[in-house]
Structure 1
Amino acid sequence: MKSADEKDSFLPGPKYLHAAERLRRNVENGLWAPGTQLPVERELADTLSVSINTVRRAVGVLVAEGVIQRRQGAGTFVSPAVAPTGPAVTPGGRRLVGVLVPSTTYYYPRVVDGVQRVLRDAGVGVVLASSKYDLAVERDELQGMRDSGVQGLLLAPNLHLMADPQGYADGLRELPLPYVLMERRPPDPAPDDPTSYVGTDHHGGVCLALRHLRGLGHRRVGHLGRDHTGTSAFVAQGYDAAVSLLGLDPVGAAVARRDLWDAEGIAVYVRACAAEGVTAVFCHGDRDAAALVVEARRQGLSVPGDLAVVAYDDEVAEVGDVPLTAVSPPKSEVGATAAELLLRRMTEGDAALCRRVEILPRLIVRASCGAARAAGAR
């Protein structure tokens, strides 16, 4: 007698082969493009209404067929549709571009959407990979893309994790194919550094937030920030510059940055805001801002009545009892502009000019800043 994993009550043949066929159709129909990471096994099992063991056997079939690739430490991906020799092309003859980002779950999905929109319109395919903020994975993924023969690269390297980020940026110039950085730039470039990049003007975005709070009458604005992320240094510098530019008061312990904010740390921070007479906080990013709102209310402060809050990132800022006013980086525009620059470099070769593009974010005003109250009310 066959097990439930081996036989389906209504379909002939082993169940894992039927699961493999459904996954294969998803690839063939374009639901998962070349280079796309597949959902995790639990999600696939739930979607297909089979066991995880069945999913593993189904994926094994597609790996053996070359439809799917397993990448050690990274996950399972649709294989790039690459010809055996020559430039990377899809079966229809399209060129392929490699896109390497730190995450496919937070911040970067909208960057990738912008990339895909431009490349799709240009008839260029995408091989997408995530480094998962791991330098070893990043190295392997970049090498894998080179080996696949992609004709260009869009990269968001983990410069903030590297001992010599400028050395790494310099080393990228040895790549035998054109590339453009996204949301990253060489940290200490020579004046004639030829690296092309597209990123968010983080300094400008922070200034937008603090100018808005200043217009609402706030002079004592704290900063709850992060350390050692890809953008934390730029955001922190933007805060310091905006405080000076706008003539805001120094707030001592209410300027605090950590690698990770836990519940206890945020509770201590709220007490520091009260001690410093802080009436508003600029917070990097959304999730810490949401936790700050919860803790402030737990300590008896109303938001925005006693404490206005503005977040940075605008990923989940709308979720919660008090929707967060947020600086919204132009993620899709960054991806689209980077793709346009790369296409130009792929077409023009060495004649392509270096371009350094910074795009100003928007400020999305919601309930957490109390914008409806008159300026000077604080």
Structure 2
Amino acid sequence: MQYNFITSNQELADFCHQASQVEAIAVDTEFVRTRTLYPQLGLIQIYDGKQLVLVDPLAIDDFSSLTALLTNPNVVKVLHSCSEDLETFWHAFKVMPSPIFDSQFAASIVGMGPALGYAKLVEIMLEVTVDKGESRTDWLARPLRIEQCDYAAKDVLYLFQLYPELKARVIEQDKLSWVYSEIAHLSVKKQTLLPLDSVYLTIKNNWKLSSKAVMILKKLAAWRTSTARLCDMALNFVVREENLLSIAMLQPTSKNELRSIPGVNPHEVRIHGDALLSIVADCQNVSENAYPPKVKRLNDIENYKNTAASVKKLCLEIAEKHAIPPELVGSKKQINQLLKWCWFNQDETRDMGLQPDLLSNWRRALFVHELVKIEGLNLSSELLKEIS
């Protein structure tokens, strides 16, 4: 395969200047994310139709030309299943590529199948078999092997080749704006952090706790997330999620009691025992009036099943009308997100300053006037003002 391996600021600047003249570029990243909270960028692949480059981020210290290219509104960035790529770019450069044409999403909305992998899409559209043997390799190791570089290069070579036909299919169905708005909305979500005081809402089985235990869990979850963000450590490598719940429930007062909790790892006690016990102890003197309310769960709401079924039925009707997979219109997770936003005083979506997916981007026009008709959803005019 022919590609250039870019290892200097000037080489990168020269290529980005060239690539800024074209209508679209194919982009991909390779990263490592085993024990870290954030992806560790190992390689950036770009193909502009003339030159295919592999950019070594470990050898370059001036990425201004690259960030200018990634944010150039006149150059479409073609990616496949770009969620983790967006996280990678945001963590590395604090920019989000735009506009983005995501080939996986585009293939879904034109009826090629939900969540098609890159290799499958290339096989369908180009009749080429892509070897994914290097997908789990160490992209931070140097030097990179020829096999790694060839693998990485093919990820943008074929992506660029399939883009024109896939874009034409999307335009034929008048859904190009859907592609851009879907990823623009995803980009906003990827750069929006859940406030530390709201992290406890994401902990599984939090609804089982008393109000006092919820207060402890709230403090523990905020501490764990803050520690993970500060140290760039995967959350469960700080303290496992289920152990936070157990500590909040059992409220240990010593390291021996902490060690005796089933599932608690000795290294968690050794490294973080003092911090965990301090949080539990600090909560013992808090007045009951200051306890947060018990966590609600949707299953305990009387009309949850009927309302969720009504929203799902609407999703199926919209999917059939527009010939797109139902799970792409509204998944169970997205339906539950909407119901929490409508029914609960506090939920993760609102705390992040966002709106439910079903009331955002291209979905909003399809849903909003129908959702207000669903009995039990309580989509009031006050709530609608939040998304106007």
Q: TM-score range by the shorter chain?
A: under 0.3
Higher strand share: 1
Higher helix share: 2
**TM-score (norm: length of structure 2):** 0.26
**TM-score (norm: length of structure 1):** 0.26
